[in-house]
């Protein structure tokens, strides 16, 4: 195969294949994350969620997609047609473009930029324009207000999230995503254990970045109708929706790479083998997980009420068995293949765990009012993020210059940061001072 | 090599075309969109010149910060009547002549000095790790301008808040 | 390899367009945007020469220019907002009286 591809084109073939795979798979994946969200929401609210379309609602995303594609395309009167058309495209393009620097495993990365992390942040900050121009082009007050509010929220929390990432970058020493994961392997810990406050800041910032609850005022149904998405229907709305869920996966991917060890398995440096083989204990976990899922599916299958649901459940169990077999088979293949497949498994597992936390927060916390949101961003998170960066720097100096052990240095500095956080939180709960008229004569 | 030239032609054409469109649009929001397009093309040029950190800084700061500020203000001072007014003032012909003179001057300077400048041979290699090299430069050689820039940003922040505040 | 002159000519073209924009448009917001265009053209020039000499000094200076442009845009837009609240206009021709 190698001699069929001219050498000038060869470096571009694999990235193009990866890009095509991502663009093809992502809408389906986003649709199924929506289904997962509805099922989790239902579970937390003691009900069942979508059950009708397809067994256990598994075909719901497809039905939704067909409905959205067939809906009438309504453009408001006096709307700016060019920008109305362009705004969802900008959102989706930026959401998909960010995947080009995201490593899904050691082998699955379209481009390993040496400023990869900043590139993803930059592209995420460009997604604001999709919202702002969408709200503007709709020629409607609700849309414009929702868009401006959403953009202000995004800009505020982008700073805080970026500073949260900087605290992990100080430990990693490079902006390239591969080198960040490699640094976590070299230092033997995931960065979430070294800078937990940084992880917390990034998590809160990323929830606000993606307009998810409890920061979803701009697009909540009971608030400004639907904010900037009010006047969009059918396929244009589905583009915004796809952009939002793609953004969620991106921020989960960044958090995984920076804080949760990327594609490293837990205890990546612990190489105890099963006696007599070269298998390591933790390497069999992927196949065991899929075997467990398959067993659960086969256990549930005879207990389904309807015949078709039995068949689908059994088929799902069969699929899990195949994946378990694949995971086990790669254990005996070449190290590169095994690293690629198992790395992808661990990465996706961590991303799904992070997304589950997003879904969990949505149905647990009440929504923040917009002024509360701004106050939280500017008066709590950004000062805390700055203090955190300084403290991580001090911890690194303690470790390098004074020879403290990493654990005690990080622990001391984390406690200092938490003290500052509690002080900031107590400041925030005091009522804001009221200005006298004389105070504003400048 | 050929991809390099195609990309340069693409970014240059996009930059110049968007710039011309920006200064001629009647609708200010469209003008802002075209300025965003120019800035993105400039970021592409930076990436071609192997300035990766400046490429992301341009996108984060210029396109994702300054232009968002512009777009906010444009949406807040939106005047529908502005779309029906004259866009260009009385000095447009003088300005065009002036611009041509300026362009001719620089062009002439480049032409005269082309032999001595020896611009056809750029240096072989940039420093390998771009971000680290810029960090070394900023925090060692250019520490004073860095501190002055931070004071400037503080002053600008205070100034912008004061100017845009409503009288309570 | 793209010759450095190509980047310099691109920078010159953007600079000229920015100058025309500053001198001829009545709407001060577009004048401010043209100023940003001029600063950008200068940035391209600096980075082209940074590549030519193989050092990052030009890029560092370009970063300072971007910082400066941000500060200037913020203050300039604040001024425009304050003026708009007082006089209801954003046209440069009509901003000619200090006090009523």
| Chain B residues close to C79, C-beta within 8 Å | 163
10-residue block means of pLDDT along chain C (100 residues)? 86 94 90 95 94 90 95 91 83 76
pLDDT averaged over every residue in chain A: 86
The backbone region for B166, taken as left when phi is positive above 0, alpha when psi lies in -120 to 50, beta otherwise, is: beta
Q: Do chains A and B touch (3 or more CB pairs under 8 A)?
A: yes
Candidate from A191-200, A385-394, B90-99 with smallest mean pLDDT: B90-99
C17 touches chain B (CB under 8 A): yes
Is residue A125 located within the same domain as residue A257?
yes
User: Do A115 and B52 lie within an 8 Å CB cutoff?
Assistant: yes
Let me know if residue A375 belongs to a domain: yes
Predicted pLDDT of residue C100: 65
| Residue A135: closest CA among A80, A202, A178 | A80
Let me know if residue A442 belongs to a domain: no
Let me know if residue A271 belongs to a domain: no
Euclidean distance between CA atoms B16 and B38, whole angstroms? 7
Q: With bands split at pLDDT 50, 70 and 90, how would you rate the model's confidence at A441?
A: very low
User: Do B72 and A148 lie within an 8 Å CB cutoff?
Assistant: yes
Using one digit for the tens of pLDDT, what is the confidence trace for A207-254? 999 988 788 877 765 555 667 777 787 888 889 889 999 999 999 999
Predicted pLDDT of residue C88: 80
| Chain B residues close to C83, C-beta within 8 Å | none
3.40.50.10800, 2.60.40.1480, 1.50.10.20, 1.10.287.3510: CATH of C26-90: 1.10.287.3510
Let me know: does B101 contact C18? Beta carbons within 8 Å. Answer: no
Let me know if residue A272 belongs to a domain: no
In chain C, where the domains are located: 26-90
Predicted pLDDT of residue C11: 94
pLDDT at B149 over 90: yes
CA distance B167 to chain C (A): 10
Let me know if residue A439 belongs to a domain: no
Euclidean distance between CA atoms A25 and B2, whole angstroms? 32
Let me know: does A97 contact A123? Beta carbons within 8 Å. Answer: yes
Let me know if residue A441 belongs to a domain: no
CA distance B63 to chain A (A): 7
Using one digit for the tens of pLDDT, what is the confidence trace for A251-288? 999 999 999 988 888 887 777 777 766 677 778 888 88
| Residue A202: closest CA among A113, A120, A104, A98 | A120
Q: With bands split at pLDDT 50, 70 and 90, how would you rate the model's confidence at B76?
A: confident
User: Do B54 and C32 lie within an 8 Å CB cutoff?
Assistant: no
Is residue A133 located within the same domain as residue A46?
no
pLDDT at B42 over 80: yes
SS3 labels along A179-218: HHHHHHHHHCCCHHHHCHHHHHHHHHHHHHHCCCCCCCHH
Let me know if residue A421 belongs to a domain: yes
Is residue A105 located within the same domain as residue A165?
yes
Question: Cβ–Cβ contacts within 10 Å for residue A18, how many?
Answer: 18
Is residue A216 located within the same domain as residue A150?
yes
pLDDT at A3 over 60: yes
Euclidean distance between CA atoms B45 and B61, whole angstroms? 16
Is residue A373 located within the same domain as residue A310?
no
Using one digit for the tens of pLDDT, what is the confidence trace for B106-118? 888 888 877 766 6
User: Do A126 and B131 lie within an 8 Å CB cutoff?
Assistant: no
Half-sphere exposure of A17 (CA within 13 A, CB side): 8
CA distance B64 to chain A (A): 5
* Helices and strands counted in chain C (H then E): 3, 0
Directed axis angle between helix A141-172 and helix A177-187, to 10°?
50
Last residue of a domain, one of A359, A379, A398: A359
Let me know if residue A288 belongs to a domain: yes
Q: With bands split at pLDDT 50, 70 and 90, how would you rate the model's confidence at B83?
A: low
Residues whose CB is less than 8 angstroms from the CB of residue A442 and which lie 6 or more positions away in sequence, other chains included: B162, B165
Predicted pLDDT of residue B120: 61
Which residue among A83, A114, A123 places its CB closest to the CB of B129?
A114
| Chain B residues close to C75, C-beta within 8 Å | 156, 159-160, 163
Locate tokens 């920076």: which residue? A258
Euclidean distance between CA atoms B128 and C54, whole angstroms? 10
Q: Name the neighbours of B, counting chains with at least 3 Cβ pairs within 8 A.
A: A, C
Return the SS3 of B78: coil
Query: In this complex, how many residue pairs, one in chain B and one in chain C, have their CB atoms less than 8 Å apart?
Result: 240
Last residue of a domain, one of A308, A324, A359: A359
User: Do C66 and B134 lie within an 8 Å CB cutoff?
Assistant: no
| Chain C residues close to B6, C-beta within 8 Å | none
CA distance C100 to chain B (A): 19
Domain count across chain A: 3
| Chain C residues close to B92, C-beta within 8 Å | 23-24
Q: Domain of A339?
A: 281-359
Is residue A373 located within the same domain as residue A325?
no
Residues whose CB is less than 8 angstroms from the CB of residue B2 and which lie 6 or more positions away in sequence, other chains included: none
Is residue A229 located within the same domain as residue A166?
yes
Q: Largest alpha-carbon pair distance within chain A?
A: 83
Instruction: Let me know the angle formed at the C-alpha of A346 by A123 and A395, rounded to the nearest 5 degrees.
Output: 70
Last residue of a domain, one of A359, A393, A413: A359
User: Do C55 and B127 lie within an 8 Å CB cutoff?
Assistant: yes
Using one digit for the tens of pLDDT, what is the confidence trace for A415-429? 888 898 888 888 877
Q: Which residue has the higher pLDDT, A439 or B64?
A: B64
Is residue A232 located within the same domain as residue A257?
yes
Tokens of A81: 């047609």
Using one digit for the tens of pLDDT, what is the confidence trace for A55-94? 778 888 888 889 888 888 888 887 788 888 899 999 999 9
Is residue A243 located within the same domain as residue A385?
yes
CA distance B125 to chain C (A): 6
């Amino acid at each position: 195969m190698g001699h069929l591809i001219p050498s000038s084109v060869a470096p571009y073939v694999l990235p193009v294949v990866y890009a095509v795979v991502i663009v093809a798979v992502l809408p389906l994946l986003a649709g199924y994350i929506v289904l997962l969200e509805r099922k989790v929401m239902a579970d937390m609210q003691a009900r069942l969620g979508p059950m009708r379309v397809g067994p256990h609602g598994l075909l719901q995303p497809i039905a939704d997609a067909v409905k959205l594609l067939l809906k009438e395309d309504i453009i408001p009167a006096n709307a700016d047609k060019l920008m109305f058309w362009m705004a969802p495209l900008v959102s989706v393009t930026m959401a998909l473009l960010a995947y080009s620097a995201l490593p899904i495993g050691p082998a699955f990365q379209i481009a390993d930029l040496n400023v990869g992390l900043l590139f993803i942040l930059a592209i995420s900050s460009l997604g604001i324009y999709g919202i702002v121009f969408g709200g503007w082009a709709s020629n409607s007050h609700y849309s414009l207000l929702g868009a401006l509010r959403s953009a202000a929220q995004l800009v505020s929390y982008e700073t805080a999230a970026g500073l949260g990432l900087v605290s992990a970058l100080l430990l990693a020493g490079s902006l390239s995503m591969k080198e960040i994961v490699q640094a976590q392997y070299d230092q033997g810990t995931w960065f979430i254990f070294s800078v937990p406050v940084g992880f917390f800041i990034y998590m809160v910032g990323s929830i606000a970045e993606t307009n998810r609850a409890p920061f979803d005022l701009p697009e909540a149904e009971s608030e400004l109708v639907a904010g900037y998405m009010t006047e969009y229907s059918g396929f244009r709305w589905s583009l915004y929706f796809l952009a939002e869920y793609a953004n969620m996966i991106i921020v989960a991917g960044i958090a995984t790479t920076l804080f949760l060890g990327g594609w490293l398995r837990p205890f990546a440096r612990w190489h105890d083998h099963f006696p007599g083989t070269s298998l390591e204990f933790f390497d069999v976990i992927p196949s065991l997980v899929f075997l467990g899922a398959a067993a659960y599916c086969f256990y549930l299958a005879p207990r389904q009420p309807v015949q078709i649901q039995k068949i689908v459940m059994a088929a799902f169990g069969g699929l899990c068995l195949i994946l378990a077999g694949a995971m086990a088979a790669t254990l005996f293949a070449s190290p590169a293949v095994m690293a690629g497949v198992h790395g992808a498994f661990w990465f996706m597992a961590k991303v799904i765990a992070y997304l589950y936390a997003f879904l969990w927060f949505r149905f647990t916390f009440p929504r923040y009012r917009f002024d509360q949101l701004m106050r939280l961003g500017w008066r709590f998170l950004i000062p805390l993020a700055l203090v955190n960066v300084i403290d991580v720097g001090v911890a690194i100096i303690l470790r390098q210059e004074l020879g403290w052990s990493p654990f005690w240095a990080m622990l001391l500095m984390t406690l200092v940061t938490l003290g500052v956080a509690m002080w900031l939180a107590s400041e925030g709960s005091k009522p804001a001072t009221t200005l006298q008229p004389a105070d504003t004569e400048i | 090599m050929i991809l390099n030239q195609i990309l340069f032609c693409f970014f240059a054409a996009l930059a110049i075309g968007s710039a011309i469109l920006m200064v001629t649009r009647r609708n200010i929001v469209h003008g802002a969109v075209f300025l965003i397009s120019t800035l993105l093309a400039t970021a592409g040029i930076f990436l071609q010149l192997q300035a990766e950190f400046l490429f992301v800084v341009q996108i984060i700061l210029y396109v994702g910060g300054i232009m968002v500020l512009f777009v906010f203000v444009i949406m807040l001072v939106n005047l529908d009547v502005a779309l029906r007014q004259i866009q260009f003032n009385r000095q447009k012909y003088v300005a065009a002549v002036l611009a041509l003179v300026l362009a001719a001057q620089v062009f002439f300077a480049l032409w005269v000095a082309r032999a001595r400048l020896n611009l056809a041979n750029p240096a072989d290699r940039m420093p390998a790790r771009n971000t680290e090299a810029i960090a070394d430069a900023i925090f060692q050689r250019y520490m004073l301008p860095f501190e002055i820039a931070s004071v400037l940003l503080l002053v600008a922040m205070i100034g912008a808040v004061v100017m845009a505040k409503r009288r309570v | 390899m793209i010759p450095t002159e190509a980047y310099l000519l691109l920078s010159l073209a953007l600079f000229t367009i920015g100058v025309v924009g500053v001198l001829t448009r009545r709407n001060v917001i577009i004048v401010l945007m043209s100023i940003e265009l001029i600063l950008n053209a200068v940035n391209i020039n600096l980075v082209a020469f940074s590549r030519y000499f193989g050092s990052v000094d030009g890029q560092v200076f370009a970063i300072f220019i971007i910082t400066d442009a941000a500060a200037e845009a913020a203050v300039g837009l604040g001024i425009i907002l304050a003026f708009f609240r007082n006089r209801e206009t954003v046209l440069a021709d009509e901003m000619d009286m200090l006090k009523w």
